[in-house]
Amino acid sequence: MKTLVLVEHDNATLKDATLPVVTAAAKLGEVHLLVAGKGCAAVAEQATKIAGVGKVHLADDAALEHQLPENIAPLIVDLMGHHDAFLAPATTTGKNIAPRVAALLDVMQLSDIISVDGPDTFTRPIYAGNAIAQVKTSDTKLVITVRGTAFEKAASEGGSASVEAVSGASDAGSARFVSAEVAASERPELTSAKIIVSGGRGVGSGENYKALIEPLADKLGAAVGASRAAVDAGFVPNDYQVGQTGKIVAPEVYVAVGISGAIQHLAGMKDSKTIIAINKDEDAPIFQVADIGLVGDLFQIVPELTSKL
């Protein structure tokens, strides 16, 4: 089987989110990558080095600069003339593009797979991970999004693939990129961090979040996250949200501070290796999944913890 993997990037660097998808694709067959963007030759160069990649297709066109699905999907459909499976990371970019490709190919997408069980059989979580479904498709072309935390990252060095230019991109004219507000942070990225400290409604305010959660994260070299309640209350921006409808994370250590442990939050972090919970309510559901719990007032515990580390 010949697979085509959508490379996630910002026209300058290849994002780590691509690497687990390469691992998933390699279980199906030969791996080709697609770098679609504008002025993104450097990304293609990085892509050629990923271990196990056979070929890198480079589509460099102004219409592709912002990954607009209206412009990228037709290009992918063309490439699918000689590929059997299209795989994208289950990021907001992948989730935006892949179903559009699937519909144009008249196939059902397999969303957010967590394992490849055969050439047509996959496992995926449903109901926010409260149930796991094994599914088999009858479509002959596959369109798949891959949950990054479920597969090892392919090595980003060691490969020596060739680059092939792809032409024929055009602007569908129906959508235009206006602006982006991207949060710049010195901290590790949430979805690839080894340690995450998350704050919930219990933290109380944005000021408290800055005064308590961030210093603890800095001591641990951790990324910072939040529950939906903390995001909705405006303590932190939306891209901090962990959960069914936020980011799915699986770090070595996840520290939940003032988070009750609603099923929608657990859906995003329960595959973490070690979960540590700090909550004043000893019956909070988070303690049912936590490996280490500390019952008490976070306003006392967190500063003390930060100072003792």
Partner 1 sequence: MKILVPVKRVLDYNLKPRVKADGSGVDLANVKLSMNPFDEIAVEEAIRLKEKGVATEIVAVSIGEAKSQETLRTALAMGADRAILVTHDGVAEPLAVAKLLKAIVDEEQPGLVILGKQAIDDDSNQTGQMLAALLGWAQGTFASKVEVEGETVNVTREVDGGLETVALKLPAIVTTDLRLNEPRYASLPNIMKAKSKPLAQKTPADYGVDMTPRIETLNVSEPPKRQAGIKVGSVDELVDKLKALGVA
Q: Which residues bind ligand FAD (CB under 6 A)?
A: 126, 133, 200-202, 227-230, 241-246, 258-260, 262, 264-265, 268, 279-281, 284, 297-299
**Distance between CA atoms of residues 201 and 233, nearest Å:** 8
Stretch that binds partner 1, among 23-31, 36-44, 103-111, 152-160 (CB under 8 A): 103-111
Distance, in Å, from the CA atom of 99 to the CA atom of 86, rounded to the nearest integer, reads 11
Q: What is the token pair recorded at 110?
A: 């397999």
Residue 227 tokens read as 């529950």
Q: Which is nearer to ligand FAD, 1 or 133 (CB)?
A: 133
Residues 213-242 that bind partner 1 (CB under 8 A): 219-220, 228, 231-232, 237-239
**The pair of three-digit structure tokens given for residue 39, joined into one six-digit string:** 């002025």
Q: Is 134 in the site for partner 1 (CB under 8 A)?
A: yes
> Structure tokens of 268?
């995003």
Nearest distance in Å: CB 192, partner 1: 11
**Residue 155 is a binding residue for partner 1 (CB under 8 A):** no
Q: Report the candidate in 261, 263, 264 with the shortest Cα–Cα distance to residue 278.
A: 261
Please list the residues that pair with 36 across neighbouring strands.
59
Per partner kind, with CB cut-offs from 5 to 8 A, the member of ligand FAD, partner 1, none near residue 155 is none
When asked if residue 294 is in the footprint of partner 1 (CB under 8 A), the reply is yes
Phi first, then psi: give them for residue 65, nearest 5 degrees.
Answer: -55, -45
Least distance from C-beta 32 to partner 1, angstroms? 22
Q: Which does 284 bind (CB under 5 to 8 A by kind): partner 1, ligand FAD, none?
A: ligand FAD
Partner whose footprint covers residue 280, from ligand FAD, partner 1, none (CB < 5 to 8 Å by kind): ligand FAD
CA 189 to chain centre: 10
Tell whether residue 276 is a contact of partner 1 (CB under 8 A).
yes
Which of residues 55 and 187 has its CB atom nearest to partner 1 in the complex? 187
- Does 283 bind partner 1 (CB under 8 A)? Our answer is no
**H or E stretch including 223?**
strand 223-226
The answer to whether 181 contacts partner 1 (rule: CB under 8 A) is: yes
Phi, psi at 127, each rounded to 5°:
50, 55
DSSP for 248-300, written as a single string: ----SEEEEES----HHHHHHHTT-SEEEEEES-TT-GGGGT-SEEEES-HHH
Looking at the Cβ atoms of 9 and 124, the one nearer to ligand FAD is: 124
- The one among 110, 196, 236, 256 contacting partner 1 by CB under 8 A: 110
Question: Is 292 a binder of partner 1 (CB under 8 A)?
Answer: yes
